Amino acid sequence: GSEEDGEVSLPLQPKITITDAISNVQKLRQFLSTCVGVPDTVFGQLNGIDEYLMRKVTQTLVDSKITDLLQT
């Protein structure tokens, strides 16, 4: 088995939804805005993550609507 090969199996993590991820980015941004000395680049990176997640949400919505149209 895999344990004999020295592999360690990690417990399964619950799936995080994209809505949860967006909410967590917003919480992290809020937290960091209360901290002193956070470089602007950190906020820029958070903005990039937020934009990526929003594109994923938009793409998911577009894909599901196209699929709905094809099924009718």
Tens of pLDDT, residues 6-48: 677 778 888 999 999 999 999 999 999 999 999 999 999 999 9
Residue 60: the pLDDT is 78
In a domain, 10, yes or no: no
Tokens representing 68 are: 């709905």
What Å distances lie between residue 13 and 4, 16, 41, 44, 57, CA to CA?
23, 9, 30, 28, 22
Q: 25: Cβ–Cβ under 8 A, 6 or more apart, which residues? A: 46, 49, 50, 53
Tokens representing 26 are: 């917003």
In a domain, 43, yes or no: yes
Residue tagged 């938009």 (tokens): 58
Q: Answer yes or no: is pLDDT of 68 > 60.
A: yes
Residue 4: the pLDDT is 55
In a domain, 13, yes or no: no
Q: Answer yes or no: is pLDDT of 51 > 60.
A: yes
In a domain, 11, yes or no: no
List the domain range (segments joined by +) for residue 29: 18-70
Q: Answer yes or no: is pLDDT of 66 > 80.
A: no
Residue 30: the pLDDT is 96
Number of domains within the chain:
1
